[in-house]
Amino acid sequence: MLSLPGDTFREGVNHMAARESLDDLLRQELRDLLDGETQITKALPRMAKAAESGPLRSAMEQHLRETEGQIERLNEAFELLDESPRRKTCHGIKGLIDEAKEMMSELNRGSVLDAALIASAQKVEHYEIAAYGTVRTYATMLGHRNVATLFEATLREEKATDQKLTGIAEGLVNPDAVEGETSEESDREGLQVRVARTVGTAAGRAAALARQAANSIGGRGSRKQASGASRKARKSPSRRASRKK
Ligand code: FE
Ligand code: FE
């Protein structure tokens, strides 16, 4: 994860000034991470509340508790480095959270929003995996073994969260489960089947959009129209093609 230009870094490791600058870079990254994690503790409860899927909600709630522990580790790292904890705006996490907020305001509660929430959360985890991998490497190279150990624990949590989210997301693209649906059927089905139906194929998306439009207009006439659109989508060639995959 260390992304310093190779030559500069090799020349620098035995040079006091360059060593100091890498040390400064480590501290800068820690301030960035402390700010990013703090932003995440504010965003996660809102994302969990917006999630329809139980497993997704509990994964987010569990990761909120882990994130609070990760902030503790960052504070410990500052202490080990003889520095008072400070925050520096993490624009990367801010941007990812802004995108998640946009999704939450644009999409209705349901399986499609769940898919978007998973995508947003995984983008955040990947950012964190890169950032913690970087600070762990800096700390190791600067001889702060105890600091590096702290971030190894955090890295394990971030990677496990990413994998758990992948597990939930994999249910979204089960082509065998892709069918049209009525709202009654939808009530009986798990997230895996419903999201596969709405996200997995173009036909599913068309049906979902038709249902969404019908729901926002309301009334029996429009619902009837929407189920007609669902039937049409069910019979469309694109669905048959995707089932053969
Ligand atoms: Fe984190
Ligand atoms: Fe995380």
Same domain, 205 and 162: no
26: CA distance to ligand 1 center in Å?
17
37: CA distance to ligand 1 center in Å?
5
List phi, psi (to 5°) of 201. -140, 165
Residue 102: its pLDDT value, please?
A: 98
Ligand with smallest separation from the Cα of 69: 1
Residue 213: its pLDDT value, please?
A: 44
Residue 172: its pLDDT value, please?
A: 62
125: CA distance to ligand 2 center in Å?
5
103: CA distance to ligand 2 center in Å?
19
DSSP-assigned letters across all residues of 195-240:
HHHHHSSHHHHHHHHHHHHHHHH-SHHHHHHHHHHHHHHHHSHHHH
218: CA distance to ligand 2 center in Å?
39
Q: Could you give the number of structural domains in the chain?
A: 2
One pLDDT digit (tens) per residue for the chain, 245 residues: 444 444 444 444 445 555 458 999 999 999 999 999 999 999 999 999 999 999 999 999 999 999 999 999 999 999 999 999 999 999 999 999 999 999 999 999 999 999 999 999 999 999 999 999 999 999 999 999 999 999 999 999 999 999 999 999 987 654 343 444 444 444 444 444 444 444 444 333 434 444 444 444 443 333 333 333 343 333 344 443 444 33
Same domain, 161 and 185: no
Same domain, 68 and 136: yes
Residue 211: give the domain boundaries.
175-244
Ligand with smallest separation from the Cα of 67: 1
64: CA distance to ligand 2 center in Å?
8
Ligand with smallest separation from the Cα of 34: 1
Ligand with smallest separation from the Cα of 90: 1
Same domain, 164 and 219: no
Sign, CA dihedral 44-47-49-52, equals negative
* Residue 1 resides in a domain: no
CA-nearest of 20, 41, 29, 28 to 1 is: 29
Q: How many CA atoms lie within 13 A of 44 on its CB side?
A: 24
Give the domain-ending residue among 173, 202, 220.
Answer: 173
Same domain, 202 and 84: no
Q: What is the DSSP letter of 179?
A: -
Tokens of 231: 């039937």
141: CA distance to ligand 1 center in Å?
22
158: CA distance to ligand 1 center in Å?
6
Residue 115: its pLDDT value, please?
A: 94
Residue 171: its pLDDT value, please?
A: 73
Give the domain-ending residue among 173, 202, 229.
Answer: 173
130: CA distance to ligand 2 center in Å?
11
Residue 137: its pLDDT value, please?
A: 98
